[in-house]
Copies of this chain bind each other. A is one copy, B any other.
Amino acid sequence: MGRWEPNARERLLRAALELFIEQGYEDTTVVEIAERAGLTKSTFFRHFPDKREVLFFGQDTLCQLLADGIAAAPRSAAPLEAVAAALDAVAVVFPPERRELGPQREAIIAANSELQEREALKRAGFATAMTQALLARGVPDPTARIAAELGIGAYYRAFEQWADPAGQQTLTELTRQALGQLRAAAATLG
């Protein structure tokens, strides 16, 4: 192990996003990312397995937070209340200074089909984590899946809105709002 670098992961993430936008994802190497961050290649590989995973870092942690949030909801909570609790648990790990990173990340992913595939699997992984946690609470099968899907829908919707620099609301507020809208819309399906 090399010496400890303060905030290395964040520096690598920001450097990678910059380079992917400036010169394209395909044409950016790990060495360039490390250089831009003022770090070494081996520091990069202590934090990420490859350049792609810089864009998908934290997925396992978020899945765990979602599952734990659902498990920790009161026994009496309805499926969507448990989902709301899980989304609250996730919202707090995104500080306001990360607000601007979302649109950068999305622009990079939108330009590359391999990244779109990876992103789709990430979303599916969130839904699966929430579905499993709801099933473990005794929520029956199709209800658990639908509640999880609504939760993930609310999560992505809230993130989109949060990215708007003119917005004043916190991620927690936006997530709760989005979930409320999806819940109301689900009642009008016919």
Interface residues of A (CB under 8 A from B): 77-81, 113-114, 116-118, 120-121, 123-124, 140, 142-143, 145-147, 149-150, 153, 157, 181-190
| A to B CB contacts below 8 Å, 23 in the list | A78-B190, A79-B189, A81-B190, A113-B121, A116-B121, A117-B117, A117-B118, A117-B120, A120-B124, A121-B121, A123-B124, A140-B185, A142-B153, A142-B157, A142-B185, A145-B182, A146-B185, A146-B189, A147-B189, A149-B153, A150-B189, A183-B189, A186-B189
A79 vs B186: C-alpha distance in the bound complex, in angstroms? 11
Residue of B at shortest CB range from A116?
A: B121
Pick from B114, B146, B185: contact of A153, CB under 8 Å: B146
B142 contacts A181, CB within 8 Å? yes
Residue of B at shortest CB range from A154?
A: B142
A190 contacts B80, CB within 8 Å? yes
Contact residues of A: prevailing secondary structure = helix
Contacts of A120 in B (CB 8 A): 117, 120-121, 123-124
Contacts of A149 in B (CB 8 A): 146, 149, 153
Contacts of A81 in B (CB 8 A): 190
Contacts of A184 in B (CB 8 A): 142
B79 contacts A146, CB within 8 Å? no
Pick from B79, B117, B185: contact of A121, CB under 8 Å: B117
A79 contacts B153, CB within 8 Å? no
Contacts of A124 in B (CB 8 A): 120, 123
Contacts of A189 in B (CB 8 A): 78-80, 143, 146-147, 150, 183, 186
Contacts of A121 in B (CB 8 A): 113, 116-117, 120-121
A150 vs B149: C-alpha distance in the bound complex, in angstroms? 9
A124 nearest CB across to chain B (Å): 5
Contacts of A117 in B (CB 8 A): 114, 117-118, 120-121
